[in-house]
Each structure stands twice: as C-alpha cells, then as structure tokens.
C-alpha cells in the first residue's frame, strides 16, 4: 500500500485514547498529519498525543464528550482556532451496551443513540462546516460488522451502527459536490476492550488488531482525488467468518 503523505494536514480522531482510535491517531501522525486526539479521558488522550510526538509527529489532546453537544462544538472550535482547517475526521468513538431485547433498558438504548449516532452526526456536521468552504476533506466513520449483520444480545448497539451506515451513505452523496469524501469502515472482531466486553468467549487469536483498521484508514487517504470508496468490510482472513 502506498503510504499517504499527510504533511500539513489536520486530522481529528475521536475515541483516540485507546484501541482503534489510538492506533489510527498514531498512524496518521506517522504519515505526517497534525493529529487532534479526542476522547473523554484526558490522561488517555494525553498519552496518545505524547506517543505521536515521540514518533516525530505533531499532536494535541482535546477532551470531548460526544453525549454533550456543547463539548462537541467546543472540540471543533478549538480545531478552528488553532489550525484554521480540518482535512480528516475519523469518527471512531462509541460505546457498547448489550443484552436481550426483552430486558434491555430503554435508558441504555437512549445512551447508545446519543453517543454512537447523535455524537457521530454532530462531528460530521462540524467537520462539514470546516471542509465545505475549503472544497476538500475526508470523513471516515468507523462502523462495525454489525452495521450490516446482527448478533444475539446486540440489538441496541447494532441499530446504532446501522444508523451510522445510513448517515455515511447520505453524507457521501451530499458532500461530494463540495469536494468532500465520506466512507465507512466496518471491522469484524477487533482486539479491544469493547469486543472483550461484548464477546468474552472469543479467543483473541482470531481477532483483528487495531492497527489493521488504522491501515484501512491510511488506504482510503492514499486514494487519488478521482476515487471514492463507500465502505470497507474488514475481517480476519482466517480463523473466523466475521
């Protein structure tokens, strides 16, 4: 794969404190981007930003709570104030809450929708407000294999990831006339805290690694301006069908 040259580009990665988000932030930094690592836990994103800088990149850490609209607006206001531009947004942050439909608390469903869908929507909205005037940019939404499949005890989570796919598909069409691209990456099982919580029965040896998803992000950013990719379904090559 051709490594994209992201020198001078500004990239926001949500959920960047650990797992997939941290791997994506590090990969973007190594490719030359100025990375804004965003998540709720300041210590974690400070660690990610420090790792990017230690690898020779440039990074800031900005705390954000996707369930809080004002917090999301403040994140992008900080990006606008410091950098004056946004070239890449990777919407990775999300939560997973699980249980049978018949006993699943409505409050948990509301929380899933607020973070996974509404938070992602707000980030896309703010990104478009920066990218459209520039006539360029790339929004990459990290969905999940459950964005097109279903598994037991994951109905609420699955519904939000299907919703992220609907958002991405519509955004891709709406944004293209402004020179902005939007894609979704749908990973299967990845060795993260969330997957270990949802599927403690899975052997980590059959799972993808966060770096595999980061490589998919770099692939999208390496494409010429002529090319558009709607979605990437990323799964383990051997060992498990998802």
Question: Closest Cα partner for 213 from 15, 39, 61, 63?
Answer: 15
Sheet holding 180-187, edge to edge: 58-63, 34-39, 10-14, 88-91, 137-142, 180-187, 231-234
Q: For the segment 159-175, what is each residue's pLDDT rounded down to a tens digit?
A: 999 999 999 999 999 99
Q: List the chain domain ranges.
A: 10-234
Q: Catalytic residues, which ones? A: 157
Q: For the segment 188-228, what is each residue's pLDDT rounded down to a tens digit?
A: 876 666 666 656 666 666 777 889 999 999 999 999 989 99
Q: What percent of the chain has pLDDT over 70?
A: 90
Q: For the segment 120-161, what is each residue's pLDDT rounded down to a tens digit?
A: 999 999 999 999 999 999 999 999 988 999 999 999 999 999
CATH topology of domain 10-234: Rossmann fold (3.40.50)
Phi, psi of 207 (to 5 degrees): -100, 155
Query: Given this model, what pLDDT does residue 241 score?
Result: 54
Phi, psi of 193 (to 5 degrees): -60, -40
Mean residue pLDDT of the chain comes to 92
Residue 54 has pLDDT above 60, yes or no: yes
Contact 18, 95 (CB under 8 A): no
Q: For the segment 71-109, what is each residue's pLDDT rounded down to a tens digit?
A: 999 999 999 999 999 999 999 999 999 999 999 999 999
- For 158-191, give the DSSP string: HHHHHHHHHHHHHHHHHHHTTTEEEEEEEE--BS
Rounded to whole angstroms, the Cα distance separating 175 from 27 reads 25
Instruction: Report pTM.
Output: 0.93
């Amino acid at each position: 794969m051709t490594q994209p040259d992201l020198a001078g580009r500004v990239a926001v990665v949500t959920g960047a404190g650990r797992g997939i988000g941290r791997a994506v932030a590090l990969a973007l930094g190594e490719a030359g981007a100025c990375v804004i690592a965003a998540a709720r836990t300041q210590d974690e994103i400070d660690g990610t930003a420090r790792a990017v800088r230690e690898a020779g990149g440039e990074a800031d850490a900005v705390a954000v709570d996707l369930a809080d609209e004002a917090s999301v607006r403040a994140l992008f206001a900080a990006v606008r104030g410091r950098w004056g531009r946004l070239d890449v947004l990777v919407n990775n942050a999300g939560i997973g809450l699980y249980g049978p439909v018949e006993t699943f608390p409505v409050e948990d469903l509301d929380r899933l929708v607020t973070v996974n869908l509404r938070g992602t929507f707000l980030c896309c909205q703010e990104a478009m407000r920066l990218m459209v005037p520039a006539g360029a940019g790339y929004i990459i939404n990290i969905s999940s294999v459950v964005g097109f499949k279903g598994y037991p005890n994951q109905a609420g989570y699955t519904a939000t990831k299907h919703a992220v796919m609907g958002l991405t598909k519509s955004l891709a069409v709406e944004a293209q006339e402004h020179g902005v691209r939007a894609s979704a990456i749908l990973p299967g099982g990845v060795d993260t805290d969330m997957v270990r919580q949802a599927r403690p029965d899975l052997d980590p040896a059959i799972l993808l690694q966060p770096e595999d998803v980061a490589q998919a992000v770099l692939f999208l950013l390496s494409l010429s301006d002529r090319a558009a990719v709607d979605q990437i379904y990323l799964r383990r090559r051997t060992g498990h069908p998802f």
